[in-house]
Amino acid sequence: MIEIDTLIVGSHVVTMNPTRDVIRHGAVAVRGNEIVDVGKQSDLEAIYAPKQTVGSDRFVVTPGMVNTHIHITGEPLTRGYVPDDTPFEENVFMWLCPLYSVFTAEEERLSAQLAAVEMLKSGTTTFLEAGTIRFLDDVIDGLVEVGIRGRVGNWVWDLPPEPDVYKQNTDAAIDMLQQQLVDHASVADGRLGTWSILVGHTTASDPLWKAARELADEHGTGMSFHMSPAKLDPEAFVAEFGHRPMIHLAELGILRDDVAITHCVQVDDQELAIMAEAGVSVAHCPTTALKVSYGVTQIGKMPEMVKAGVNVSIGTDGNNASNYSDLMRATYLVAGLFKDARQDPQMFPAEMAYEMATLGGAKTMRMQDTIGSLEVGKRADIVLHDTDRPEWRPLLNVANQLVWSADGRGVHTVFVDGVKVVEAGQMTTIDEGTFYDRCQRAGEAITARSGLPDKAKWPVL
């Protein structure tokens, strides 16, 4: 018998391997942080002597999901404070930026932990942060403790509006970007690290765009930024450069297959062709698009992007534009939005939506060789869904039910890098007993300190 650390068993093992095999009465063998075998439970039990066996026929076993756009600071502790009936510009510059600006380092650390806990407990094991962290050292320290996998970045821009805490000249912005790539290249055995991430939109000068590109090349990281959720970005680029954002970024040499662009709702056919040729990935944030009324169902080209070969993955974004970090809920929307918008039920079937949330996310993060599926040699990022719940019974079509029936509430156990970080729905790495009370008190203190009004429409007596 071959000794391993853990044998994970389930009624269905959803491998997401190249042939998308779902193994009935399956198992995954884990040694250290690596998957060493996947197959029938009976076959693996005849080969391996595990130190522990986790799961039973009650569970569906899947790869961890990959959230390719989330703000882990600023918004988890101010969730829902911004009214949901504010225009885009007011939403960002009159509400979000002032809220972000009053955070302390300790609050950012707590905020990042809250986001990570919500992701892990709903089956997301890896994330790409939006590049809006101010206290990077503290945030990374908090993430190490929680045990999630991710790539993060400082708030970097050189064409800032107010407030003052974000102001950077071009040299300072480049220095900050370079320093984060040096100081945090690989943390916790590579589980955490930094990318060349800009806020994007219209907040970067051409020299900063070029420097971010060069730093991504120099350090071998990906590059990420926001672009064109609303008309503001294309209108501003046309006014300044005479053409739309993707054309300008292509001319600067920014767009390559290591680039992850968030939103991309307001792109035209010429931009789409440029994106496909460059091989960029798009992080589609469906809840934000709905809540901030980007027009994704009317003009969004996500189906055309996929058809053209663009890798489209899924993000949950910030907790004021998208109040949750449960990627299963966002995947549900991805599977449904364009079915209705195009009156075509063949748009984004459940299997495709789930691929976008796992394999698509792994590709966006340039981790397709290490995460996104349950295959030999990949990292042991594994989720067990409890099917002894009403939304899971009867279980007749696992892909359909992962996307259309279930959500993160059914996540029972989660492994990241071979370490059990969630067990029976509870975090194993931090004490949840006092955690949520700390989050509540911090959120109340931040919103009070911001000076922003409480716009809740119902009286709280």
Measured in degrees and rounded to the nearest 5, phi and psi for residue 11 equal: -65, -35
| CA-closest candidate to residue 201, choices 149, 166, 159, 250 | 159
Contact 328, 402 (CB under 8 A): yes
pLDDT of res. 87? 87
Measured in degrees and rounded to the nearest 5, phi and psi for residue 384 equal: -110, 120
| Total Cβ atoms within 10 A of residue 423 | 14
Give the angle subtended at the CA of 55 by the CAs of 54 and 57, to the nearest 5°: 150
Q: Give the dihedral of Cα atoms 235, 238, 239, 242; nearest 10 deg.
A: -170
Contact 338, 348 (CB under 8 A): yes
pLDDT of res. 161? 64
pLDDT of res. 35? 98
* Distance (Å) of CA 181 to CA 197, 222, 253: 10, 11, 20
CA 147 – CA 419 distance, rounded (Å): 8
**Cis amide prior to 163 (ω within 30 degrees):** yes
Start-to-end Cα distance in the chain: 65
Bridge-based pairing of strands 22-31 and 2-14 is antiparallel
- Ordered per-residue pLDDT tens for the chain, 461 residues: 999 999 999 999 999 999 999 999 999 999 999 999 999 999 999 999 999 999 999 999 999 999 999 999 999 999 999 999 988 888 888 899 899 999 999 999 999 999 999 999 999 999 999 999 999 999 999 999 999 999 999 999 999 766 788 889 999 999 999 999 999 999 999 999 999 999 999 999 999 999 999 999 999 999 999 999 999 999 999 999 999 999 999 999 999 999 999 999 999 999 999 999 999 999 999 999 999 999 999 999 999 999 999 999 999 999 998 899 999 999 999 999 999 999 999 999 999 999 999 999 999 999 999 999 999 999 999 999 999 999 999 999 999 999 999 999 999 999 999 999 999 999 999 999 999 999 999 999 999 999 999 999 999 99
In the numeric block, the tokens 């918004």 are attached to: 75
pLDDT of res. 162? 65
| Total Cβ atoms within 10 A of residue 89 | 10
CA 100 – CA 132 distance, rounded (Å): 9
Task: Report domain extents, the chain.
Answer: 2-63+372-425, 65-365
Name the fold adopted by 2-63+372-425: Urease, subunit C; domain 1 (2.30.40)
| CA-closest candidate to residue 123, choices 377, 450, 416, 436 | 416
Contact 226, 188 (CB under 8 A): no
Q: Helix (H, G, I), strand (E, B), or coil: what is residue 355?
A: helix
Residues in CB range of 414: below 8 A, 6 or more apart: 64, 120, 121, 123, 125, 382, 383, 384, 420, 421, 422
Q: Is this structure's pTM higher than 0.95? A: yes
CA 250 – CA 267 distance, rounded (Å): 14
Q: Helix (H, G, I), strand (E, B), or coil: what is residue 192?
A: strand
pLDDT of res. 377? 98
pLDDT of res. 41? 98
pLDDT of res. 163? 74
Q: Helix (H, G, I), strand (E, B), or coil: what is residue 4?
A: strand
Name the fold adopted by 65-365: TIM Barrel (3.20.20)
* b (16+ CB within 10 A) / e for 11-31: bbbbbbbeeeebbeebbbbbb
* Six-digit token string for 99: 């809220």
Sheet holding 311-314, edge to edge: 196-200, 223-227, 259-263, 281-284, 311-314
Contact 328, 65 (CB under 8 A): yes
pLDDT of res. 257? 97
